[in-house]
Amino acid sequence: MAKQDQGIIGGFRGTIGPVIGYQWRGRWCLRARPQRVANPRTAAQQEHRMLFRDMVRLASRLTPVLRRGLRDASLQEGMTEGNLFVRMNKGLFSAQGVDYGRLAVSHGPVAPVAFTHVALDERMVVRCEFEKNPLRMRADGTDEVWLYASCPAVGRGILAAPVQRRTKHLEAALPDEWAGNEVHLYAFVTDHTQRASSTLYLVADAPGDADGSPDVDAADALRAPSAPSAQAVAAQGATSAVQRSAYTAQVSGIPTAQEDKKKPPMMGALD
């Protein structure tokens, strides 16, 4: 049974025949009532359902990140941030797992930064240095740079407190229990209008590097053969969902040491 909230000319909630009324982001909407269909539960159908379930679960866990990285893009597309995330990344889920290196948690026209050094030390602290505007695009020094770290083995993520573009430095402390597990790092930029940049996938130098310097400079990282060039991304209006950074060593968990030293604060864990 449906319920009218604003009289005969207003919207309604509930079901009238084959139509369902509901409110979404302050707008009254209608959709067709789902019809019953045959459910043969074939192997292919079951596999597809499992993959879709995994995508929805990951999108739900990433909600605080997607609200920053996909808010403007989702409004442009007329859908929720979670639904846009699923649409953008559905090709990265398979029976073999998730292609985390190509996952996109943000999308938009904001000028990206270029990470010149990303390192993980013995205390599980990620330290990043970046160029604030390598493409010389229109940008503001107060734009916020975000870093999200994900550990699939424990099913958790950390969204670090953002820093302004002009600081050119970012730090984030990872939980000690992540040591020894695979960790994935994603970065993006947002401006004062809540638009975002495309996602940057980062790989950190492992502790103990000879000089701690990156193997490629910022320009080479943006021109890495495994990703579209920065110039091409800019020319296409930043339509590419992911720009991959080209650093050498994969993030690996290191047993914590020097417990007496303080870690930088974390914004919060995403369970």
pLDDT score, position 250: 34
Name the DSSP class of 241: S
Residues in the chain, overall count: 271
Separation of alpha carbons 101 and 264, rounded Å:
26
Q: Is 157 buried (19+), middle (13-18) or exposed (0-12) by CB count in 10 A? A: buried
pLDDT digits (tens, 9 = 90+) for 134-173: 888 989 999 999 999 999 888 899 999 999 999 999 999 9
Q: Give the residue among 236, 229, 239, 65 at the shortest CA–CA distance from 134.
A: 229
> What does the pLDDT average to over 190-205?
92
Tokens for 28, please give them: 């009254």
- Does position 245 have pLDDT exceeding 70, yes or no? no
Fold entry, domain 105-270: Immunoglobulin-like (2.60.40)
For the chain, the domains span 3-32, 43-101, 105-270
- Does position 262 have pLDDT exceeding 60, yes or no? no
Most confident of 39-53, 65-79, 195-209: 65-79
Exposure of 154 in the CB half-sphere (CA atoms within 13 A)? 21
